[in-house]
Amino acid sequence: MTRLMHIVGARPNFMKVAPVMRAGRAHAGLEQVLVHTGQHYDPAMSDSFFNDLQLPPPDVNLGVGSGTHAQQTARIILDFEPVLDQYKPDWLVVYGDVNSTIATALVASKKGVKVAHVEAGLRSRDRSMPEEINRLLTDQLADLLLTPSRDGDANLLAEGIPQERIRFVGNVMVDTLLHLRGKARELGMPARHGVEGMPYAVCTFHRPSNVDRPEPLREILGALDDLAGRMPVVFPIHPRTRQRIAEFGLQDLARRVTLLDPLGYLETVGLVERSTLVLTDSGGLQEETTVLGVPCLTARPNTERPVTVTEGTNRLVASRRSEIDAAVAEVLAAIESGAYAPRQPEGWDGRAGERVIAALAG
Ligand code: UD1
């Protein structure tokens, strides 16, 4: 019996673990343990994803909550050690690039527990992003690096990681998207939000570089206000962004935008699938819009997901009102030409979870 311990902590982890655990359940000889660090704890940021994705309740929830990066990472490290001692897994399986990923990988690697990293090798080359630090360090620690796209393999090789530790498996998030897309459509999200049959935009912003200082947040909200003059703009808002808008006194700029509480997974996919365009700084939405064929403007100077630009619908844009306005105008003009057909980069085929399990189960 091989025991896998899967680690989740924050919203973008949940859709990545779901297809891997599903494939693991279908494989005889595997035992699976799910640990939630509790980095995200609001029902809308956590519980609703467990329901939508039909994830089993976690075997352990560390309940670490929010804090500075040091506080949060340190709490996870301290609280996770006895859990690892208790369950003694053969593999620790970590996902993506959040603080829970690096914190638990560090504990396991020092205790001689093998670490597998799902979504290895992505690089923005921007060390001001906390996620980039988490990606670099987790990949140095991991024994098995499971990459979602070929650029991941190339990045790891360039950092001196031996080929034997690298396995291209494709994108597990896409497994979830393809699996649940029909169910998401059944929710009738556009009708629920009064935008059925009309052009509308969906946006999400939560990166510290965009929302933790007033200037970029003001620029982005200004652009959303401009767009709201042309079509409805629906903005499911991360708790951190809502706090910042209030703190910086920017509520007036968001007046014409429809602000919603954070949406669940199915609700988000149901809304994005029928939208005219997406404006975001999320990692996952860059990938989901590529698969759904929805044009995406990403307000960041770089991306760790370059295939969404070279092979998909994504385009990077500065967090400046005038630049976002100009990019929106170009996207709206280009839609007519059919430039935004759905794309499936290599390995984004709905079978990545099975390939992760095949790599772990031997
Ligand atoms: C984390 C990830 C980020 C990911 C994002 C998705 C890291 C370094 N960052 O960022 O990569 O894109 O999750 O959402 O791990 N808060 C709540 N309720 C919650 C969770 C957070 O109110 O359930 C608020 C708190 O004020 C908290 C703030 O949001 O301080 C930030 O939360 P945190 O977990 O530190 O990082 P995220 O910005 O969510």
Identify whether residues 22 and 160 lie together within a single domain.
Answer: yes
Asked if 48 contacts 265 with a C-beta cutoff of 8 angstroms, the reply is yes
CA of 234 to the centre of ligand 1 (A): 21
> pLDDT band for position 84 (50/70/90)?
very high
Active site includes 69? no
- 118-175: pLDDT as tens digits: 999 999 999 999 999 999 999 999 999 999 999 999 999 999 999 999 999 999 999 9
Task: Kindly state the percentage of the chain with pLDDT values over 90.
Answer: 99
- 322-348: pLDDT as tens digits: 999 999 999 999 998 888 999 999 999
Residue 343 falls inside a structural domain: no
From residue 112, alpha-carbon distances to 85, 105, 148, 163 in Å are 11, 11, 26, 21
Q: Is 304 left (phi over 0), alpha (psi -120 to 50) or beta?
A: alpha
Query: Containing domain of residue 142, as a range?
Result: 2-170+348-361
Q: Is the pLDDT of residue 95 over 80?
A: yes
Q: What is the pTM of this model?
A: 0.97
Which residue of 68, 173, 206 sits with most ligand 1 atoms within 8 Å of its CB, as the best mutation to test the pocket?
A: 206
CA of 40 to the centre of ligand 1 (A): 6
CA of 272 to the centre of ligand 1 (A): 21
Atom of ligand 1 nearest to the CA of 67: 30
From residue 118, alpha-carbon distances to 79, 290, 293 in Å are 22, 20, 25
Identify whether residues 263 and 309 lie together within a single domain.
Answer: yes
Question: Which one is catalytic: 6, 117, 206, 238?
Answer: 206
Q: What DSSP character marks residue 131?
A: H
Q: Is the pLDDT of residue 117 over 80?
A: yes
Helix (H, G, I), strand (E, B) or coil at 310: helix
Query: Which candidate, 314, 264, 307, places its Cα nearest to that of 286?
Result: 314
Instruction: Decide which of 339 and 359 is more confident.
Output: 359
Mean pLDDT (the chain, rounded): 97
Identify whether residues 137 and 189 lie together within a single domain.
Answer: no
Closest CA to ligand 1's atom 7: 98
Residue 9 falls inside a structural domain: yes
Asked if 45 contacts 8 with a C-beta cutoff of 8 angstroms, the reply is no
> pLDDT band for position 316 (50/70/90)?
very high
Which residue of 98, 136, 244 sits with most ligand 1 atoms within 8 Å of its CB, as the best mutation to test the pocket?
A: 98
From residue 262, alpha-carbon distances to 52, 73, 158, 227, 315 in Å are 14, 24, 38, 21, 24
Q: Is the pLDDT of residue 362 over 80?
A: no
Residue 237 tokens, joined = 């808002």
Number of domains in the chain: 2
**The amino acid at 121:** G
At 338 the pLDDT is 87
Q: What is the chain's alpha carbon radius of gyration, rounded to the nearest angstrom?
A: 20
Q: Which helix (H) or strand (E) holds 204?
A: strand 201-204
Identify whether residues 185 and 51 lie together within a single domain.
Answer: no
Identify whether residues 326 and 356 lie together within a single domain.
Answer: no
The CATH number assigned to the domain holding 241 equals 3.40.50.2000
- 293-308: pLDDT as tens digits: 999 999 999 999 999 9
